[in-house]
Structure 1
């Protein structure tokens, strides 16, 4: 007679990761992922679980009162071509992030909490840039004192085994636009406006936009579609997309104003109508020095001082930073984990060293413990 052997903690976490990796779901479609996480957390009676009837994602909470220390994991996958077929794929590490937060939850659930609340946020739709805003609308963040996020980092940014107490993401914005005119016969270009020529002017004027060169930024056309299969028709209409990046939120505001002026100038120059909207928008990081110090202390405690690296500045974006922009009282920062991630984030064949999962778990557990301990002391003496 044989008896089944209980998996070790590490085996359990790898099993969780492998399930999440094999079952990716797109933004706002993370129902199975939500159900899986809920089913796992229900093993821990100390956790109160909150789900939402109108969308995916969930909140788990243990303890009560102040301070409220939260950890956030993003859940959604990307839609990409893999080996000739389009499919959902976890190429941004969200499967690892969920595993890390679940591992931290398991460890913390088995330790007594004398004072304070620990909140675990499993947030959908980070890749759409709308998940955090939806959770904020649901009052998930209104009473949070400290908030920690986590993200795997590519090998080009951070050496394997090292960690950073902050990721300074930039702001990003995507503009969807359309040019409205009438098609013309190829022999009669004088009867209207060629939308392709309008697009060429748009490219040149966007390239001429300048702001403070000490702040990283970029503005570029990322798609343009005009014309059909007939070679002898001049297209009067077109659609386009513009990608804006800036390292600060103020710089993004300035870029947007200048893009708006460019579009108005082209409308006047060609006497045409241009419509535009912003389907997605991410704010730049506004991290907190105290939160960074607490996370740095946790990194040193777990990995050693030689494995602590300086915060990373990246032009990539993350909707995590909406929490602090919408609630400035929240002290937040994001843990960055070196893990030999290659070829890079959002690459369909992305891979990384799974040992980083356990580094992330231990660091976040320690960060929560350190934060609760120090905040409780301040509350006691205040």
Structure 2
């Protein structure tokens, strides 16, 4: 019998931020060891976990990946971690699938590899696992995400979710301080930063290419109200449906910021805070997942392939290792009001379905 709700209820109560998932990884690791997996903790010096079940019979290596971190929120003025993206559900589903597969002796050839990854929200977790060699011996990798109610109803699933590329840029704009009564002696970083936001809002790619750019944070405070501020920080969120478009958009945004502040006599230092690639999904893996969905829930449950402007660092795996076939699917959970909302919730009865879909995929490849 699936323990997915037991796992979920525990993990949901101990949300931890990226690379700080100490309790989370300790729990998952112990459950995997109890089940009989060979487990490597603290993978590449992180909270990541890699576990292996080797059949001893020649065959492919199939990896299942789950993310573990929670999101940081400010709620009622208090900084806190909260599972508002469903990573506790992802870890619970993959952990439960692993338990059922090993208990049922379902892996009859090749190897099953489990990757419990930290820091997805930071855009750094997958890269850390890759750098440690987590997928150097992997032929195929599967991941999934709980989906908002607006995209996918409870009782249905999407065989491939094509995520967008996302880059977060921070521009630190340097002016020159001066007294508010003598503005001609300074360079107002606030004015320059406002100009930078307006310049970025005027950036355009082809309308049919699927892209967006917007300012998402603006910080400027000289500490007093009668002084010209000499520094401002602006964060921009960039998204494109294709990886090649992101290269162009990023270059245009950087140029817009640098040139617009220069007109005020200010300078800008633009850096990449976070970068996630657009989806790279293998058709063979999508077909595998689609058949597993039908196996578990029937034809009526199979939804069309879908694109989303959201981002997901899972796609670093196939981008960094193009020889690895990747599949990424969406589970209908009735999730409301939306991902990353402080009050996000979903139908927990959907989680056992996710377990069954993963186990069906593994049986088809390794059974």
Q: TM-score, normalised by structure 2?
A: 0.95
What residue number does 2:64 align with?
71
Q: Secondary structure at the match of 1:357?
A: helix
Tell whether the 8 Å contact from 2:333 to 2:350 is kept in structure 1 after alignment: yes
**Larger Rg belongs to:** 1
Q: Please say if residues 59 and 366 of structure 2, whose CA atoms lie closer than 8 Å, have aligned partners that are also in contact.
A: no
Equivalents in 1 of 2:199, 2:294: separation in Å?
Answer: 49
SS of the residue aligned with 1:128? coil
Cα distance in 2 for partners of 1:39, 1:204 equals 52
Partner SS, residue 104 of structure 1: helix
* Cα contact 2:195–2:261 (8 A) shared by 1: no
Q: Which runs of 5+ in 1 are unaligned?
A: 1-8, 374-382
2:140 to 138, 146, 154: 146
Matched-pair contact (CA < 8 Å) for 2:18–2:122: yes
Deviations 1:90-143 (A, max 9, x none): 111111111100111011102333311111111111111100000000110112
Other-structure match for 1:100: 93
CA distance in 1, matches of 2:175, 2:76: 40
Matched ranges for 1:321-336 at <5 A = 321-336=315-330
Partner secondary structure for residue 52 of structure 1: strand
Q: Are 2:336 and 1:305 aligned?
A: no
Matches of 2:6 and 2:97, distance apart in 1: 15
1:160-239 aligned at under 5 Å gives the runs: 160-239=154-233
- Among 288, 310, 317, the alignment partner of 2:311 is 317
1:34 is the counterpart of 2:28: no
Q: Distance in 1 between matches of 2:76 and 2:352?
A: 30
Paired position in structure 2 for 1:345: 339
Stretches of structure 2 lacking an aligned partner (at least 5 in a row): none
1:225-374 alignment to 2 at 5 Å? 225-372=219-366
What is the alpha-carbon root mean square deviation over aligned residues? 1.5
SS of the residue 2:328 aligns to: strand
- Choose the corresponding residue for 2:79, options 75, 86, 110: 86
- The CA distance in 2 between the partners of 1:123 and 1:299, in whole Å, is 24
Q: 1:60-106 CA deviation, whole Å, 9 max, x = no partner?
A: 11124430111001000111134553321111111111110011101
Contact residue 30 and residue 75 of structure 1 kept, 8 A = yes
Contact 2:222 2:228 in 1 (8 A): no
Q: In 2, distance between residues paired with 1:200 and 1:83? A: 29
Distance 1:19 1:254, change over 3 A: same
1:44 CA displacement: 2.2
Q: Using the TM superposition, give the Cα deviation of residue 267 of structure 1 relative to its aligned residue in structure 2, in angstroms.
A: 4.5
Contact 1:75 1:123 in 2 (8 A): yes
The C-alpha deviation readout for 1:335-365, integer Å capped at 9, x for no partner, is 2011110111111211111111111000000
Range that drifts further, 224-233 or 255-264: 224-233
Distance 1:224 1:87 in 2: 22
Distance in 2 (CA, whole Å) between partners of 1:88 and 1:239 is 24
In the TM superposition, what is the alpha-carbon distance from 1:171 to its structure 2 partner?
0.8
Between the two proteins, the alignment pairs up a number of residues equal to 363
Counterpart residue number, 1:57: 48
**Is 2:38 aligned against 1:48?**
yes
Deviation for aligned residue 1:234: 1.9
Shift of 1:186: 2.0
Q: 2-side partners of 1:248 and 1:344: how far apart?
A: 24
Whether the 8 Å contact between 1:226 and 1:239 is mirrored in structure 2 is: yes
Q: Assess if the C-alpha contact under 8 Å between 1:81 and 1:348 holds in 2.
A: no
8 Å Cα contact 2:159-2:290 kept in structure 1: yes
Return the alpha-carbon distance in structure 2 between the equivalents of residues 229 and 83 of structure 1: 24
Alpha-carbon distance in 1 for matches of 2:222, 2:184? 20
